[in-house]
Amino acid sequence: MRSRLHAAFGSLRYLAVSCMLAVSIAPAGSAQAFDWAQQAPVAGTGNERTDGDAVGEPVGELDPGAPIVDRDFGVSTRSAGLDRQVEMYQWRLHRGEYQRVWNAARIDSSDFDDAHRNPPFLLDNRRWWSDDARLDGRPVDQEVLQALGEWRVFRPGFSRLPLNMAATFQPEGDGLGSAENPLQPQIGDLRIRWRELVLPPLQGRVVFRDGAWRLRPSAAPGAAHAAAPAAARGAAAASRSGSSDDGTLSWWWLSLPLVLLLILALWRRSPKGKR
């Protein structure tokens, strides 16, 4: 009887050691599998290489190309875009009362009385985009500029202001204004501001395709972060929870031999077990 108990005890001890080795090895293997699932390219996210794509991530900075010029005012910038904003001081009817306001578009005054008619809006708001921007010597699709660019106000120099504009406008704040006294503008006065386009680093945001750098779908404004496939998400959840839905053993079952070994050791220590 004692020899049988020794044999059973030895078998359980061997099984317990094997289970402990499995428990120590399994997490590392699961982590490696999860890392592989995270690093593998996901179709449709812009991380995969496309046919004919022989260029990796960009390494340089954006070259916006030739200066962009607002020829009406001689204002120029070496950024990837130029934006002219024009406002006119005009009448607005609000809750039955006439108010004087700056507005970026002409307010329709056709229903106003004769004393509160707004003059024509003589200057347009305009926006220019670079058409020869390059990155690492290769063209950049204009969609990249429009999607990722940020408009920032800048104060241009007015050394090239045409004479006809110089007779009407003078520097005011960061731009130009037509009011003789900027603190007391009159109906019909204009003020103009310019903004230039600034882009963030484009690494990870563009992919070279069809001869130009183009916007990655995952970098488009409002796009959610690229999601892993359902299988990868399931593997990650199983790795974090310690359980699995595909039939593999859970940690609770792996610990069962250790419990049996403990019960056997206590039984051998008892007076009944020593007989």
Please spell the DSSP secondary structure of 65-79, one letter per residue: -SPEEETTTTEEESS
Tokens matching residue 271: 């007076």
Is 214:143 a contact under the CB 8 Å cutoff?
yes
pTM of the model: 0.62
One digit per residue, the tens of pLDDT, for the chain of length 275 reads 555 545 544 554 554 445 454 444 444 444 444 443 444 444 444 444 444 456 789 999 999 999 999 999 999 999 999 999 999 999 999 999 999 999 999 999 999 999 999 999 999 999 999 999 999 999 999 999 999 999 999 999 899 999 999 999 999 999 999 999 999 999 999 999 999 999 999 999 999 999 999 999 998 887 754 433 444 444 444 444 444 444 444 545 556 666 666 676 666 665 655 55
Separation between Cα atoms, residue 126 and residue 72, nearest integer Å:
11
Q: In whole angstroms, how far apart are CA 232 and each of 30, 39, 206?
A: 12, 11, 25
Q: What letter represents residue 23's amino acid?
A: V
Angle at 77 between CA 143 and CA 195, to 5 degrees: 70
